[in-house]
Amino acid sequence: MKRLSATLLAFVSSAAPLLAEESIAVDKGWLTVNNPNLEIVAGSPLDFSPLFPEQKIDGRVEISPQGQLTVSGKPRRFLCGTISLTPPYGGFPDHASADRLARQMRRAGYNLARFHYVDATLMSGRKGDFDYHPEQLDRFYYLLAALRQQGIYWMIDGLSSVNGAYGSVEPHRWVNRHSLMAKVQVDDAARRHWRKLQETLYARVNPYTGRSTLADDALMGVILVNEGGFQFQMAVDRKIPDAARPALVAWLKQRYPQAAAFEKVWRQPAAQLDASRLQLPDHEEQSPRMEDVLAFFDERQADTGRWMEAALRELGYRGPVTAYNNMPTTHMARSRARFPWVDMHAYHDEASGREPGSRIANSSSFDNSLGWLADLASHRIAGKAFTVSEWGQPFWNSWRYESSLTVPTWAALQGWDAICQHASSTVDLDYRQKNSWKEAMMPYTVGLDPITRAGETLGALLFRRGDVRIDTQFTRLAIEQPADEASAKYWGLPREISRHALRGRVALDFTKAAVNSPAMRENVPITAQSRLEKWLQALERGEDFTTFTGEISASIRRRQLQLRTENTVAVAFDRLSAPLDLGYLRINQASRGGLVALSSLDALPLGKSRKMLLIVATDALNTGMRFKAADRKELAALGLSPPRLAPIRLQLDLRDARELKAISLGLDGSAGKPLKLLPARTFTSLDLDTGREQLATTYFLIQH
């Protein structure tokens, strides 16, 4: 995982994606998307607004005593779409486009929007502090109102950027000129800046709603500072933040009034206890002096969280707040646990940039036994609301279709409150965009990528609609003694602990009190002596495993995940060596790996449904995209829109003797070509060859 600002900096600083002298294309025979329109057609099978007809802003979001997000006392699950429209992405849309975007988000199934890097967008090119770009500020406020009109709640960062609302940041907003993430925890002037940012932006009356953002019931929650934890900053920058030095020295002087005690722990003369001379531990060091550093971090984070929450309450905000939403360690979990709402981030295989020479590992998430997913799930904290505001298996990873099934499936199984795939925008209106970062698919442009968009479509059914059953019991991951944490405070939970999250619902618990709850399946102490259970040993060997609910099964070795529910069956697979029976759907052959899912659209079980959506997602690249080698690890040229989709041939059987019809759908849900179905006595067969039929899409409709 890396800090997003570092990723953006790499993108901003990159040269134009020129063609390398020696490079190869890997998309021979792939299918070009010819319809540039991405706006979901009203009333089409991809218009999910009829699935959620009561969607509206019907009260403020609160947290129940059980640790769930609720509205008017009833649990509310949020499918969240990111909006991070910084200047290279075109900035906030004009009023007409904002209305279109809001309608599209509702049709796509979203009921929450996460705004990210609002501060950087409004301050780009501005000279004075808090001198927000007037047109962009107006557009931001209008977009909030347009989303509200569509029943879409908001989630905001109190601070996204290291430069906050300071002016004259050159050459662009992603150069770290002010280190605000660190300073806001140790410097009074930085705190005053943070508070003024809230006052001048979020406590200001929105002319299109007649109330401030903070006072609006549509504001689901505030992330006080995005990815602002000291330990996370230390891991990203590979050193203790320089901005923390003066406060750390003052803290150490209080902690060690006797020079001898300091010298014993820090192994340097007490005369060096000075901001300019103190020798700090290496960022990966595990030692008594690093224990001091972490204790300092924890104390400052606790104080900062209390101060920021109090400031927002004084400004009239009454909803949930959270912070420290990255780094899966127990040290950071303790800071998160001070809030009633916990938020986390995680990625599999992030790219280093978009310019020639940028690299990814291009690995399957199964190659690490779904470790990134286990890290996310195992850091839910008992009794707290839980959201994931950033996740992804970003473009151009060849296996990114996996996350289209893994994340929404486990989010539903675990009973998370919200999931939000990180993106510039999870919904886009058109492929004909001229903004520099919208002319092609690139990491985090989810709305332009047919593969990740297909996953968001499936997520609306699996997670928000609730096709996947929640695990009614939980496994308590117990940290009852300081010694239990061992190295988990540095590097996170041991594999034999975190992997419990792959079988069912888990809750990390710091309390020492014995838990006696009928909902608790078992108590798993986190100790250095934790042993692998038999099912975990099988998991490590790559053998199959099944969740406690029985709906989800996986094979690490075969890179395969299966889902069987009443309304949806699905599989993500690397390849099929034999027919795969999912109950209502049987896949006899598949020419390549991908995601295949079949979902009822009319709330009837498969087999009785009169309207079913077939999702087939393989891979997609930009036109003209090239790589240094066939393994696709190093980029040679990014290419441009439109996308090219990898073709697939599927031979499918549906256990359905009814007279069925099928057609392809455009990426906008529009009707395409009819598909030939072969009825038999007890089943119906479909031979789907997207290459032969030139079907550059991921969506198909089967109906009775």
Q: Look up the CATH number of the domain holding residue 591.
A: 2.60.220
**Assigned domain for 410 exists:** no
pLDDT at 3: 40
Give, for 539, the enclosing helix (H) or strand (E). Answer: helix 534-540
Convert the pLDDT of each residue in 233-284 to its tens digit.
999 999 999 999 999 999 999 999 999 999 999 999 999 999 999 999 999 9
pLDDT at 12: 46
Note whether 586 and 687 are same-domain residues. yes
**Assigned domain for 509 exists:** yes
Convert the pLDDT of each residue in 488-545 to its tens digit.
899 899 888 999 999 999 999 988 776 667 888 888 888 755 667 788 888 878 788 9
Note whether 629 and 523 are same-domain residues. no
pTM of the model: 0.95
Dihedral of alpha carbons 303, 205, 428, 616, sign: positive
Contact yes or no for 194/159 (Cβ under 8 A) = yes
**Assigned domain for 46 exists:** no
Distances (CA, A) of 232 to 120, 432, 657, 691: 21, 38, 56, 45
- 344-348, 474-478, 647-651, 661-665: lowest mean pLDDT where? 474-478
Is the pLDDT at 429 greater than 60, yes or no? Answer: yes
Is the pLDDT at 482 greater than 80, yes or no? Answer: no
Contact yes or no for 403/455 (Cβ under 8 A) = yes
Note whether 519 and 661 are same-domain residues. no
461 or 15, which is more confident: 461
Convert the pLDDT of each residue in 76-95 to its tens digit.
999 999 999 999 999 999 99
Cα separation, 463 vs 599, whole angstroms: 13
Three-class secondary structure of residue 388 per DSSP: strand
Of 129, 145, 128, residue with least CA distance to 205 = 145
pLDDT at 9: 46
Looking at every residue in the chain, the average pLDDT score rounds to: 93
Note whether 508 and 563 are same-domain residues. no
CA dihedral 81, 84, 88, 90 (to 10 degrees): 70
Residue with tokens 């309608």: 103
**Assigned domain for 595 exists:** yes
**Assigned domain for 433 exists:** no
Note whether 548 and 521 are same-domain residues. no
Q: Which of 499, 530, 561 is the last residue of a domain?
A: 530
pLDDT at 15: 36
Note whether 524 and 655 are same-domain residues. no
Mean pLDDT on 310-329:
97
pLDDT at 530: 64
Q: Which of 507, 530, 553 is the last residue of a domain?
A: 530
Note whether 492 and 564 are same-domain residues. no
Dihedral of alpha carbons 677, 678, 682, 688, sign: negative
Our count of domains for the chain comes to 2
88 or 3, which is more confident: 88
Note whether 513 and 621 are same-domain residues. no
Cα separation, 391 vs 403, whole angstroms: 9
Q: Which of 530, 552, 578 is the last residue of a domain?
A: 530
Mean pLDDT on 353-360:
95
**Assigned domain for 415 exists:** no
Cα separation, 511 vs 260, whole angstroms: 35
Note whether 479 and 569 are same-domain residues. no
Contact yes or no for 187/121 (Cβ under 8 A) = no
Note whether 579 and 697 are same-domain residues. yes
Cα separation, 79 vs 581, whole angstroms: 30
Convert the pLDDT of each residue in 191-205 to its tens digit.
999 999 999 999 999
Give the domain extent around 571. 544-703
**Assigned domain for 551 exists:** yes
**Assigned domain for 560 exists:** yes
Convert the pLDDT of each residue in 544-597 to its tens digit.
899 999 999 999 999 999 999 999 999 999 999 999 999 999 999 999 999 999
Is the pLDDT at 413 greater than 60, yes or no? Answer: yes
Note whether 602 and 687 are same-domain residues. yes
Q: What is the share, in percent, of the chain residues with pLDDT greater than 70? A: 96
pLDDT interval class at 434 (50, 70, 90): confident
Write a three-state SS string for 451-487: HHHHHHHHHHHHHHCCCCCCCCCEEEEECCCHHHHCC
DSSP 8-state assignment for residue 201: I
Note whether 589 and 695 are same-domain residues. yes
